[in-house]
Structures are given as C-alpha cells and as structure tokens.
C-alpha cells in the first residue's frame, strides 16, 4: 500500500477512538443535564413545563387533562409530584404539563 504505514493506521484508529469517547461523553453529559434539570426527586415528564396555577395557588390542568400525583423524598423533605395527563396513571401520557411542591419539610 503506497503511502500507508503502521503509524498512519494507529493514528487513524486513535482519532476514531477519541471521537467514540467524545460521543459517549456527550451522551452521558446530555443525560446528566436532563436529570439535573428535573424537579427534585419527581422524575417529571415535562420538568421545564410547569402547569399554570389558579388564584389559590393550586396547579390547574388544561381541559381534557387530569392531575395525577405521587410523593417522593430527598433528604428529609417530602415532595408531591404531578402530571396533567390524559392517561389513567401518572406514568401514562400524553402529558400537558407537570407540577411539584413541598409537602412536609421533615417527613422522610
């Protein structure tokens, strides 16, 4: 093979390796940032789209959707989490928006 050498092949393989490691690191960084962007311990379907509130400060779902809630703990704090969904449970979509609030500061 004219113009090829072991050093050229190893250099080429090294570039592929760096690219592969960079791609894996990028995917890991994306999943961490999505997780970090989520609200407390809730694991919301739409952490960057909180539902509107009414004049009493309660979250309100758009017409045709209902609020499904659950609780979770981080440290000593208990949080309530919610999804406005057309699904039968909090894990079934489609989702319109999400919600979260502190239930009790020292209940976990």
The pLDDT tens digits for 77-92 are: 999 999 999 999 999 9
Q: Is the pLDDT of residue 100 over 90?
A: yes
pTM score over 0.85: no
pLDDT recorded at residue 1: 52
- Record the tokens describing residue 7, joined without a space: 């050093």
6-16 exposure pattern, b = at least 16 Cβ within 10 A, e = fewer: eeeeeeeeeee
Q: pLDDT grade, residue 34 (50/70/90)?
A: very low
């Amino acid at each position: 093979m004219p113009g090829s050498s072991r050093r050229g092949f190893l250099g080429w393989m090294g570039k592929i390796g760096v690219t592969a490691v960079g791609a894996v690191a990028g995917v890991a960084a994306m999943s961490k940032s999505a997780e970090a962007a989520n609200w407390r311990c809730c694991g919301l379907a739409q952490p960057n789209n909180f539902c509107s509130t009414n004049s009493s400060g309660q979250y309100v779902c758009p017409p045709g959707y209902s609020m499904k809630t659950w609780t979770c703990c981080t440290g000593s704090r208990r949080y309530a989490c919610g999804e406005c969904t057309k699904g039968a449970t909090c894990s079934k979509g489609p989702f319109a928006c999400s919600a979260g609030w502190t239930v009790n500061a020292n209940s976990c």
